[in-house]
Structure 1
Amino acid sequence: MDAADFWVRLVGPDGVRREGPLSVMWPVRFESGMPARSFPSYRGQRNFTGWYWSATGGGHVPYESWLERDHLMRLDFDPEVLGVGAQPFGLSWRDGELGPLTHTPDFFARRADGTSLVVDVRPDDRIGERDAVKFAGTRDACALVGWEYERVGELDPVFAANLRWLAGFRHTRVMWKDTAVALRKVFAGGAGLLAGARACGDPVQVLPVVYHLLWCRQLAVDLESSPLSASAWVTPGRVAREGGGDGDASAAAVGR
């Protein structure tokens, strides 16, 4: 199969529906479009839908489960990601054994280097035979146009808990520039999280800035080995988001 064998349906940022072969549609900025299908909500629903405010794009991105929300946070936390779209397109093709198939991936992410990532979120124990074929077909379609594809399940619980905490401080409303400058100096050689915050003032006022700088990767801490604590060792980060994580620079880049 080649890219012309896969049919793409999408909804642009203007709300207009478009479709065509993947070989023609692949350059579209899927991260800027609207969901290709609706998000159902009904009485007795077992999954939790909602909207996640993305610090990267400066807007809301919908999700269909808490697991999808966690992976949205993961993408939002990635300094290489410039924009994320949910349910970015519907993909149709003909499988040799199952016949016509359709699938809508969960997310499309655009990276700073111009590469793209398509993500499906599904726990390992919830993948049926037909689902596996759809995921494999989507992976093949992505490979044809140079997109990376991943099917992801549950996040590591420690990393997920730490990420959820830091995400609560992703907005620039908690950012105080003078405090941030002082914190970068305190943590230049590494220091305990609470000790460093106390060195810069009242922890009640300073800690939100610490967490914001950790979210923006201007400070760094081990998020995978243990839950964040007062003694967590904080060091200088990659300073990947000069804008403080407000999304302005990312939004401008996506719009180019």
Structure 2
Amino acid sequence: MCSTREKGHSSPAACARSSMASGVFSAFTRSIILMTTDSQWTFKVGGALCNWLWANGGPDITRLESVRSPTSTEYSRHVPVHAYSATMKRVLPLESGLEFELVLWLDRRSDVECLVPQPCRITSSEGVRHVPDLLERDLDGKVTVWDARPVTRQDAEFLSRAALSERACNVVGWSYRVFDGLTHSESQNLRWVSGYRRAPEWIEGARTALAQLLIDGAAIGDVLDSDDQDGHMTAAMWHLIWAGHVSIDFNCPWSKNTQFRWNGAPK
């Protein structure tokens, strides 16, 4: 429920329209208490920034828009990126490379169904504001609010805002987590297979052949050697690793000797 409009953004009528547009509430939040007692949530729905009351539950996650656009100057520590999300099937505006890594990591999970960058603004009773980096909802309806921040930059100010976000999320039945990055090997391997997110048109035939080859385990080199020089088996292998059909250790450097096994898990 949208309670008040933000100055300079929309008229009361526009805010009312956006409230009506977001009237389909997520079932998992219907039992939430009337409103948070120490934090104010601001969402953007239908182009309007609105302070959200929780009387009828939370907003429709699928209709949320980013509350701010990523920007950067010559003095900024981060560089905004626009990254394609396989989950959302569109490009997402992100504020840093670490957020991009978080999106890739969540994108590969088969239980994630919705991602929203810069999803809200949380304001404490003392007027402290914080815009988290990402919101994720899984297939069971669980919502997690994320901040992406390396350990070396988790200073007292950030930790204070993270604590604010965690308290606010706990009150409304959501989760809050801080993503501090992947290991070097996991990051590099994930970025590599993300280039094969889209299933090739020959995937079905290659899937059957790879399942037979990998049922008892094999090495990456075995697939490379079995390819008939057109690259079909190799491309299919990388896609099926991305999609989770193949079990492989992401936390070690990959080589021709790296072992993996077919598991058939769908994405």
Superposition TM-score, scaled by structure 1 size: 0.83
CA apart distance, 1:84: 0.8
2:110, 2:202 → 1: CA distance? Answer: 18
Q: Which residue of 2 is the match for residue 191 of structure 1?
A: 218
Amino acid at match of 1:229: S
Of 36, 55, 69 in structure 2, the residue corresponding to residue 3 of structure 1 is 36
Cα deviation, 1:75-127, whole Å, max 9, x if unaligned, reads 11112111111000111112xxxx31111110100111111111101122212
Superposition pairs of residues 168-247 of structure 1, within 5 angstroms: 168-173=195-200, 176-199=203-226, 201-202=228-229, 204-224=231-251, 226-237=252-263, 239-241=265-267
Cα deviation, 1:153-200, whole Å, max 9, x if unaligned, reads 132111111111111111234762211221122111111112034335
Secondary structure of residue in 1 paired with 2:231: helix
RMSD (Å) for aligned C-alpha atoms? 2.2
2:180, 2:154 → 1: CA distance? Answer: 10
2:105, 2:198 → 1: CA distance? Answer: 15
Structure 1 stretches of 4+ with a deviation exceeding 6 A read none
Of 83, 106, 127 in structure 2, the residue corresponding to residue 100 of structure 1 is 127
1:86, 1:218 → 2: CA distance? Answer: 28
1:41, 1:106 → 2: CA distance? Answer: 15
Q: Which residue of 1 is the match for residue 49 of structure 2?
A: 17
The answer to whether 1:52 aligns with 2:83 is yes
Asked if structure 1 preserves the Cα contact closer than 8 Å seen for 2:246 and 2:261, the reply is yes
| Cα distance, 1:103–1:213 mapped onto 2, change above 3 Å | same
2:57, 2:80 → 1: CA distance? Answer: 28
| Cα distance, 1:75–1:31 mapped onto 2, change above 3 Å | farther
Amino acid at match of 2:248: V
| Cα distance, 1:121–1:175 mapped onto 2, change above 3 Å | farther
Asked if structure 1 preserves the Cα contact closer than 8 Å seen for 2:223 and 2:234, the reply is no
Asked if structure 2 preserves the Cα contact closer than 8 Å seen for 1:174 and 1:212, the reply is no
The answer to whether 1:162 aligns with 2:189 is yes
**Sequence identity of aligned pairs in percent?**
23
Amino acid at match of 1:48: V
Q: Which residue of 1 is the match for residue 13 of structure 2?
A: none
Secondary structure of residue in 1 paired with 2:65: coil
Amino acid at match of 1:240: P
Amino acid at match of 2:142: T
Asked if structure 2 preserves the Cα contact closer than 8 Å seen for 1:105 and 1:118, the reply is yes
| Cα distance, 1:63–1:146 mapped onto 2, change above 3 Å | same
Q: Which residue of 2 is the match for residue 90 of structure 1?
A: 121
Q: Tell which structure's C-alpha radius of gyration is larger.
A: 2
Q: Matched residue pairs, number?
A: 234
Amino acid at match of 2:209: A
CA apart distance, 1:140: 1.0
Q: Which residue of 2 is the match for residue 66 of structure 1?
A: 97
Long gaps (5+) in structure 2:
1-34
Could you say which structure has the greater relative contact order, defined with CA pairs below 8 angstroms and 6 or more residues apart? 1
Asked if structure 1 preserves the Cα contact closer than 8 Å seen for 2:99 and 2:148, the reply is yes
